[in-house]
């Protein structure tokens, strides 16, 4: 089935300085995800593969949500001194379709911290094109 878009040129994340991570559990099924050092934290990305497509042959929204949750959670984990945490809320807005072969990056930011909660925002981008936005809240476990 054609999606009426030209083929995306191949991209090699490893050649661009990215390293694969998260090959266990659920992420092992949908990944690999890619990471690279950025200051005190990391940047996260994934390469859209045929296994990620929906019935319209673009990336399934659930894949973008999974990627946002993991990327924001990892950015939060580093910002929180690597303390155990859990996602308590994740809101997502889908802005543009992601084509198979595109490289999606998460631009994550800590918005606010309380003793037990961390509020996060993220833009998922392909190059400079925003494809989704996310807002979420993570709870530091063991803190009331």
User: How far is residue 57's CA from residue 1's CA, in Å, rounded to a whole number?
Assistant: 7
Predicted confidence pLDDT, tens digits, the chain (144 residues): 445 566 677 889 999 999 998 778 888 888 899 999 988 778 999 999 999 999 999 999 999 999 999 999 999 999 999 999 999 999 999 999 999 999 999 999 999 999 999 999 999 999 999 999 999 999 999 877
What does residue 9 show for φ and ψ, rounded to 5 degrees? -65, 145
CB 29 within 8 A of CB 44: no
What pTM did the predictor assign?
A: 0.90
* Structural tokens at position 42: 């990391």
User: How far is residue 101's CA from residue 21's CA, in Å, rounded to a whole number?
Assistant: 19
CB 75 within 8 A of CB 119: no
């Amino acid at each position: 089935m054609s999606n009426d878009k030209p083929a995306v040129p191949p991209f090699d994340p490893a050649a661009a300085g990215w390293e694969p991570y998260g090959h266990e559990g659920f992420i092992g099924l949908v990944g690999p995800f890619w990471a690279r050092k950025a200051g005190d934290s990391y940047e996260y990305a994934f390469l859209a593969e045929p296994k990620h497509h929906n019935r319209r042959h673009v990336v399934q929204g659930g894949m973008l949500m999974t990627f946002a949750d993991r990327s924001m959670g990892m950015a939060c984990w580093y910002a929180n001194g690597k303390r155990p945490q859990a996602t308590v809320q994740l809101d997502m807005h889908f802005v543009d379709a992601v084509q198979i072969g595109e490289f999606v990056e998460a631009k994550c930011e800590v918005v606010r911290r309380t003793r037990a909660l961390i509020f996060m925002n993220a833009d998922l981008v392909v190059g400079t094109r925003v494809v989704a936005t996310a807002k979420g809240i993570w709870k530091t476990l063991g803190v009331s």
